[in-house]
Structure 1
Amino acid sequence: MATFRVRPLIPDDASSADDAVREAFEGLETDFPGCEEALARGLLLLTQTGSRVLIAEDAAGFAGVVRWWDDDGIAWFDLLTAAAVWAGLALLREVERSAQEQGLRLVRVHIPEDGALEGYFWRAGYREVGREGGQLLLERRLPLLTVRAQRRADAAGIAALTGADPWPFEQGARPGWFVLADGERICGTAAVREVSPGMALVHSIELDEAHRGRGIETWMLERAAEWAETHGAFAVETESAIIPDALERDLEDRGWFREGERYVRRAVGGPVEGDGPDRPFGNDEW
């Protein structure tokens, strides 16, 4: 999976973003009513009226755009446009993370009834909840739980769950370590480290009894893999023993494939000589 930086739109991005929206939506105002205002006024002006506009960029530059807003406790988005493979999903996940940070549990989108986009959003976790004005209403319910980077305050919870010595975690955040948190309570951990240049291994996923067997392992794995890919890994693998067999199809939908006793995901395009970010710290484990 390619690596993208997703950030808020700034004035320098406006031309590229407006061009992308125009190319994707011009002439489709009936199918995508929300695009009419963007086509007429430009995205930068929309940010001054309560909308948030995010762009994705990769090494080549502009890669995609999305607009989102919240209305009565529900996050909505539209104008999702991708100029590179995986950019749309990166934008979608950033909308969801932003919504979670604001305490929003539902994310919704309208799409045409012709079904062309339904499969895409189904794979991203969105389900039909209604029909309005000739359009499908899709929704994803965001979990109350969060997967985030480990903090110093998590040391005792990590130790209780994994049996590890809490001391290293008490010294600060350890790169490559993530926790499943329900408020301040630690319900799970995931850890990833480098095993060879460009190759990372998710070597541990631990969940407490209440959260096992609910598919959360996929969520934890994705978060750890995303971090490794951001820090230079062109392939990520995991011991199959830490992933329930029931999740194999779900992992395949997300680009993971079983090879022997492990699941492996490789970045689109593979490594490029001299390209990619530095490792987070020397040759230590991450």
Structure 2
Amino acid sequence: MSLTAYKAPSYAQRAKIAFQYLMPQQGLTRLAGWFAEKKLGALTHFVIKVFTKKYQVNLAEAEKTNPSDYATFNEFFIRPLKENARPIDQDTQTLCLPADGRVSEAGQITQNSLLQAKGHTFTLETLLANDLALAEKFKDGQFITTYLSPRDYHRVHMPCDATLRKMIYVPGELFSVNPFLAEHIPNLFARNERVICEFDTTFGTMVQILVGATITASMSTIWAGVINPPRSKELLVYEYLAEGESAIHLKKGQEMGAFRLGSTVINLFPKESVTLSSHLIAGEPTRMGEPLAKILS
């Protein structure tokens, strides 16, 4: 975890934070979603070219390498990569990283408290929408929060073989989740809209959470499709069988979901079940498929 001392924001930074509270989050996100799904020909291709240049997107590793190959901005944003662009660590005792991005924070869950960023913590109960039984499974466990920037590959994959047991859609705010705002907006990840996915694994229960944000027009999973929009105002819970024809079994490295415009992934692991790779500290780049943790015997 990061132990850097908290530094009060400047006046300009305070204005940036205030804007997050004042701006029409839902309206901007709906507008972005509308545009991202439109087939606007030359305009769409121009926007993709500008976006690719501004954020230094590496299209060479994508299946489609030319901006004009994409009919919509969303198609570009959730672009699949070429085969073997992200090799999956094959060690059966190693979990792999679920997404490209950077480590926001990682480490020990202290009782029920997780570090959001320097100066801010939040609780398992609030993150998990007050599912107390689920929160209990991760007390004193391990966690990692991965921030996906606009330039990153935006499909999310499985760290290990797992069976889906529950999905919870949690309505909420749509604050931006970039590292600066994570340092200055309390309970950010527990306030934002999110999709909580609970899995059975060989080392116990694992949770993988897709966190929404401003301009994140939608999140999807491979078993349920697009979760939002429409955006429910109520918490929605879906439970799944562990066995039988309807059971959903996912393999290590398999795609499990995607962001249509980027955000954050949070993984939770039970106490004494895994040990996180030592290089995964705040700010460290992540590449899907590379080592995340070792399973403890």
Instruction: Write 1 or 2 for the structure with the bigger share of helix.
Output: 1
Q: What TM-score results when the alignment is normalised by the length of structure 2?
A: 0.24
Structure 1 or 2, whichever has the larger Rg, is: 1
Task: Report 1 or 2 for greater relative contact order, CA contacts < 8 Å, sequence distance ≥ 6.
Answer: 2
Q: What TM-score results when the alignment is normalised by the length of structure 1?
A: 0.25
